[in-house]
Structures are given as structure tokens and as C-alpha cells.
């Protein structure tokens, strides 16, 4: 029997009634006969796994649908059985009905005891999932010194303090040369303050040079004392306190120093090491206690997406997100450029019209922002995304929003703005660039990250642990030591979306209690190598 005589059963996945395409669940070849919709379809060319196959003829200029939504228009005649990708499918923004709320989901709490995890209760009421000492730099000029200090606290040294998860240097490339009162200046300060006040940071050393625009005092202000943004001109009253700056909990051990006042790099390293040594016994004495699941603040992110992302890992993560929201936790979607084209699926879920409008305002801001930089939002997907089967930003976004499940949208936050606990499903405005996006979410208070990937991103995060979910079995098998969950089993037919979603949910609780996911367990030459991936969003003019 020839290949054409033996249909490949289950090789094509039709996602929604009326779709013009199906997704190949394995590599297909020209003249293969594939079972679909009760009949067979003959491939007119090779189609890699995760890519799209035409189910019907589509004339030039006609819309092409996937997930029941428009993902672009045909730029060349498409014939049933064709490979559908960049050679015959193009982006067109088109029209979307931005309904401002009105679609509400009922998320039921399952019967039985409420889930708990063992976390660190901080004095401001929030709960940490890790217990770190952080060396936070106010300016790039102090970055090397911060790394020198952190390097002194090897696993051998920290073995005497088993309650401490690590000493990390949070360094960046800004802090000077920007206008403090500008949007970019305020965003940087908000990000740094968010990390300083994070519940996963129990000890904080703020390290500056001494002459930068972001002062160490601005990063160490305690609750109720206020933080001023920028320098007022002579004769004007001081500016108001920024309402979105995070106050540092009273039980966080805080010290600060500047390299210039310490007497130079060598002296600052010695002083910094001494400061961290003073903190370690205090931080190590903190103990985990039983905490309700509602204390979790989950960050939802994806990177290196492929044609399986919106079919396997993202909807499974959406199931876990909905379960957390049902219990009263906060779950945050982000990456504004990667919801463009699918934002109408979020606005209709808004609890109030103003929440929907705020999301649409951020979309419009991004259109202007990318245009000013000589680009547009349809510059996405990346080359890796396209190699994995994604053709337009509309297609990518429709798969990306699946991470948010079906819960009502309760709030839209600016980058690095502190997210309220126990709020439900929310959105934070961030770029799609993974480390910048997650930096904003962590600054906003996320105490667990779940990161989905199809191509095999090696993203890791500290001080907030990151769980990695592979969208397909091939990537999971090839990169097992970097992945925690194989969502490819959904397409393989060995697990359902709920099965994998429940596995992710259980792993979130275990990770919050101290289980170390793959990105935390990475070992090189006998040393535990942690990846901070701390990259604040750099916005605005540098002078």
C-alpha cells in the first residue's frame, strides 16, 4: 500500500468549525493522504509539524481563519492541501469588535479542602515563595561591584545558611543619563522599587556609585515615608508621592552604600560583603508557614512560541490560571504586542468598561511607540516563531491569550506597577521580549512564573522561580533538563488539556513551597548557576 493509499490518521488538527486551515501534528510530505473531517486530504507539498494546511480553496485577498478568528489574508491563491505560511498568507489588521465587557465566566471552586502552600509571610501581609538576599544597583556604574560581592557567596558559603535561597546581584544598564521625572525615569524607579519590596527578598543591599540620577535613598524608603520622583525646580513644592511605588516591608533587612563614599571598588566590595554577612543569619531564621492558595500572584509568559503553543501549553496554563483565580489568587497575563489582534477576546471579559478601555489605550500607545521607532506591531512573530509554524501576529496573539484562560479581566496595570493580591485575572502592559516582560511582572509582585515555550527558550528567573512548559514532545525530549512539564502529550493523545493544566497547578503549589524547577536546578561545573534575567524596560531619551 502506498503512502497516498494509507491516510495519516490524526495527523491534522482542526481547531474550530469553519476554520480554513488545520494544524499538522507531525511532519507531512507531498502527496501524503491525510484523514480530516470524515474524509481525506492530499498534501500538495511538504508541511512541517506545527504548520498549517489549507482545508479549502481561498482566493487572493480573502480572510483566513484559525481558532474561528481571522489570522490574515491570502496573498496568493490557496488550494486545498497547500502549506499555508508566509508565502501565501499576510497580515492585515482588519476590524475587530471591541466589546467593553459583558462576557462573564463562572469559575467554580472544586469541592474539598482548599489547597495550601508553605510560604514566607512578610510584615506587609504578602507572601514570598523564596528567601533571597538581593544586591540591587541604582545605576549601571555599580553593576560590576555588585557582581563581585555576590560572587563571594558560593554554595559552599551558603551551606551554613540553609534557609537562604541565594545572594543575587540585580544589575541593569541605566540609572543615569535619563530624566528622572520622565516616563522612562519613573518606570525604572518603579521597577527597582518593586524588586526592593518584593516578598521573595528578605535582605536588601542597595549599591550605588554616588552621583547618579536614581539615588540609593529612593530605593530604601520604608512604608509611609514617601518617595519623590525627580528634582523640583526652585520655588516649587515637592512633587506628589508616586502612587504605584512599592513600600519595602518593615521586616526586610536593608542596608545601602555607595562606591564613592566607601572609598572605591575594592573598599565597596569589602563593605558589601560585610553587610550581606550581617544579613544572612537574620534572613536564614525566617521560616515557611502554611498559606492559602489565594496568596499566590502568578505571572503568565511565553517565549519561542510555535504552532502548538495555542493548542497545548497555553490553554493548559489557562486551565491552571482559572483554577487559581477561582480560589481568589491573582494571575497576570502580559506582553501587549502579543495580544494585539486578540485584544477583543480580553476586552469583552472586562469586569468594567474602563478596564477594557485601559487595555485598548495601551494597544494604541504601542502602535504609536512602534511607529515612532520605524516599525509596527506586525513585525512580530520572530524568525523562530515562523519556523515553528506561526505566520502573523494575529495568529500568534490568538494562541498567546489562551494562557489567560476564560476568567473575567479585573484590572490592567502599567509596567512594574504593584498588582493587588486576591484580585483575579489581570493584565500588565509589557513588551513581548521575555526577560523585560517578566522583570515587570516580578516587580509587580509575582511570586511564581509559568513560562511556556515551543522552540525551547532557556529563560530562568530569580528571585521568583520559573516553571517551564514545553508545547511539544520533541522539544521536551530534546531539552528535558530545561523543562518541567510536557504539554505535547495533548497533541500526542496521551493527556487532555485538563490533565496538563492540573499538573501545572500542582507544580505551582509545590514550587511555591520550595520545589526547585529546572531553571533553578541548572548545575554547571558543580556550581548552582542562577539566572536573574533582570532587564528593566528602557524607555525614553538618554541624555
pLDDT in tens, 98-142: 999 999 999 999 999 999 999 999 999 999 999 999 999 999 999
Residue by residue, what is the 3-state secondary structure of 472-485?
CHHHHHHCHHHCCE
CA gap 539, 436 in Å, rounded:
11
Q: What is the mean pLDDT of residues 472-496?
A: 96
Q: Do residues 490 and 363 both lie within one domain?
A: yes
C-alpha grid cell, residue 18: 469553519
Exposed/middle/buried for residue 9 (C-beta within 10 Å: 0-12, 13-18, 19+): exposed
**Three-class DSSP category at 100:** coil
343 closest CA partner among 418, 423, 427: 427
pLDDT at 235 over 50: no
CA gap 200, 446 in Å, rounded:
9
Domain of 281, CATH number, reads 3.40.50
Residue 237, pLDDT score: 39
55 closest CA partner among 398, 3, 38: 38
Q: How confident is the model at residue 178 (pLDDT cuts 50, 70, 90)?
A: confident
Q: Within a domain: residue 80? A: yes
pLDDT at 227 over 70: no
Q: Do residues 197 and 229 both lie within one domain?
A: yes
Residue 233, pLDDT score: 31
- Beta strand pairing status for 297-302 and 289-292? unpaired
Q: Within a domain: residue 96? A: no
The model's pTM is: 0.93
341 closest CA partner among 299, 381, 305: 381
Q: pLDDT, tens digit, for every residue of 256-285?
A: 999 999 999 999 999 999 999 999 999 999
Residue 231, pLDDT score: 31
Residue 245, pLDDT score: 55
Q: Within a domain: residue 3? A: no
More confident residue, 242 or 453: 453
Q: Do residues 56 and 20 both lie within one domain?
A: yes
Do 397 and 342 contact (CB within 8 A), yes or no?
A: yes
| Residue percentage of the chain with pLDDT more than 90 | 81
Round the average pLDDT of the chain to a whole number and report it.
91
Q: How confident is the model at residue 148 (pLDDT cuts 50, 70, 90)?
A: very high
Domain of 70, CATH number, reads 2.30.130.110
Q: Within a domain: residue 5? A: no
Q: Do residues 139 and 252 both lie within one domain?
A: yes
Q: Within a domain: residue 106? A: no
Residue 122, pLDDT score: 97
Q: Do residues 269 and 345 both lie within one domain?
A: no
pLDDT at 356 over 80: yes
Residue 358, pLDDT score: 97
**Most confident by average pLDDT, 92-106, 214-228, 466-480:** 466-480
| Domain of 53, in residue numbers | 12-90
Q: What is the mean pLDDT of residues 183-197?
A: 94
Q: Do residues 420 and 507 both lie within one domain?
A: yes
Q: Do residues 158 and 25 both lie within one domain?
A: no
Q: Do residues 267 and 138 both lie within one domain?
A: yes
- Number of domains making up the chain: 3
Q: pLDDT, tens digit, for every residue of 421-439?
A: 899 999 999 999 999 999 9
Report the Cα 71 to chain-centroid distance in Å. 23
More confident residue, 229 or 132: 132
Residue 215, pLDDT score: 82
Q: Do residues 223 and 295 both lie within one domain?
A: no
pLDDT at 229 over 70: no
pLDDT at 226 over 50: no
Where is the domain boundary, 285, 306, 340? 285
294 closest CA partner among 332, 315, 269, 323: 323
Where is the domain boundary, 259, 285, 311? 285
Q: Do residues 247 and 363 both lie within one domain?
A: no
Q: Within a domain: residue 534? A: no
Q: Do residues 339 and 249 both lie within one domain?
A: no
Q: Do residues 468 and 358 both lie within one domain?
A: yes
Where is the domain boundary, 270, 285, 300? 285
Do 458 and 482 contact (CB within 8 A), yes or no?
A: yes
Amino acid at each position: 500500500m502506498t503512502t497516498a493509499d494509507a491516510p495519516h490518521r490524526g495527523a491534522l488538527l482542526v481547531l474550530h468549525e469553519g476554520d480554513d486551515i488545520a494544524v499538522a501534528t507531525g511532519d507531512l510530505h507531498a502527496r501524503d493522504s491525510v484523514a480530516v473531517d470524515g474524509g481525506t486530504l492530499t498534501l500538495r507539498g511538504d508541511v512541517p509539524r506545527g504548520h498549517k494546511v489549507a482545508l479549502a480553496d481561498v482566493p487572493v485577498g480573502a480572510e483566513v481563519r484559525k481558532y474561528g478568528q481571522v489570522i490574515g489574508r491570502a496573498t496568493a491563491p490557496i488550494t486545498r492541501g497547500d502549506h499555508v505560511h508566509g508565502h501565501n498568507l499576510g497580515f492585515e489588521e482588519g476590524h475587530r469588535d471591541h466589546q467593553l465587557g459583558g462576557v462573564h465566566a463562572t469559575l467554580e471552586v472544586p469541592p474539598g479542602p482548599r489547597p495550601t502552600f508553605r510560604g514566607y509571610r512578610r510584615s506587609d501581609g504578602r507572601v514570598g515563595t523564596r528567601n533571597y538576599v538581593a544586591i540591587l544597583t541604582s545605576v549601571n556604574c555599580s553593576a560590576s561591584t555588585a557582581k563581585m560581592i555576590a560572587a563571594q557567596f558560593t554554595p559552599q558559603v551558603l551551606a551554613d545558611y540553609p534557609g537562604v535561597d541565594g545572594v543575587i546581584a540585580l544589575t541593569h544598564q541605566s540609572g543615569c543619563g535619563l530624566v528622572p521625572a520622565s516616563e522612562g525615569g519613573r518606570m525604572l524607579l518603579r521597577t527597582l522599587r518593586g524588586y526592593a519590596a518584593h516578598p521573595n527578598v528578605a535582605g536588601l543591599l542597595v549599591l550605588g556609585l554616588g552621583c547618579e540620577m536614581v539615588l540609593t535613598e529612593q530605593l530604601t524608603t520604608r512604608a509611609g515615608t514617601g518617595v519623590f520622583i525627580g528634582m523640583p525646580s526652585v520655588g516649587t513644592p515637592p512633587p506628589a508621592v508616586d502612587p504605584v511605588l512599592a513600600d519595602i516591608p518593615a521586616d526586610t533587612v536593608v542596608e545601602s552604600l555607595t562606591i564613592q563614599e566607601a572609598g572605591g571598588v575594592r573598599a565597596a566590595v569589602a563593605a558589601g560583603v560585610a553587610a550581606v554577612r550581617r544579613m544572612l543569619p537574620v534572613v536564614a531564621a525566617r521560616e515557611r508557614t502554611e498559606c492559602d492558595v489565594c496568596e499566590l500572584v502568578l505571572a503568565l509568559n511565553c517565549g519561542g512560541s510555535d504552532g502548538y503553543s495555542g493548542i497545548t501549553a497555553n490553554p493548559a496554563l489557562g486551565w491552571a490560571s482559572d483554577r487559581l483565580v477561582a480560589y481568589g489568587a491573582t494571575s497576570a497575563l502580559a506582553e501587549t504586542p502579543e495580544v494585539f489582534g486578540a485584544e477583543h477576546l480580553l476586552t469583552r471579559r472586562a469586569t468594567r468598561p474602563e478596564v477594557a478601555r485601559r487595555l485598548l489605550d495601551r494597544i494604541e500607545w504601542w502602535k504609536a511607540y512602534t511607529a515612532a521607532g520605524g516599525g509596527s506591531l506586525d513585525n512580530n512573530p520572530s524568525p523562530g516563531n515562523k519556523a515553528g509554524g506561526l505566520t502573523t501576529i494575529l495568529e500568534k496573539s490568538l494562541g498567546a491569550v489562551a494562557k489567560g484562560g476564560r476568567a473575567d479581566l479585573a484590572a490592567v496595570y502599567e509596567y512594574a506597577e504593584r498588582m493587588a493580591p486576591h484580585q483575579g485575572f489581570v493584565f500588565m502592559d509589557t513588551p513581548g521580549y521575555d526577560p523585560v516582560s517578566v522583570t515587570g511582572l516580578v516587580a509587580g509582585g509575582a511570586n511564581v512564573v509559568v513560562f511556556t515555550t515551543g522552540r525551547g527558550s532557556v529563560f530562568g528567573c530569580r528571585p521568583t522561580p520559573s516553571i517551564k512548559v514545553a508545547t511539544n514532545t520533541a522539544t521536551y525530549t530534546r531539552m528535558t533538563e530545561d523543562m518541567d512539564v510536557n504539554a505535547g502529550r495533548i497533541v500526542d493523545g496521551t493527556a487532555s488539556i485538563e490533565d496538563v493544566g492540573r499538573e501545572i497547578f500542582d507544580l505551582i503549589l509545590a514550587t511555591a513551597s520550595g520545589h526547585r524547577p529546572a531553571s533553578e536546578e541548572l548545575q554547571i561545573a558543580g556550581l548552582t548557576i542562577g539566572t536573574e534575567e533582570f532587564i528593566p524596560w528602557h524607555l525614553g531619551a538618554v541624555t
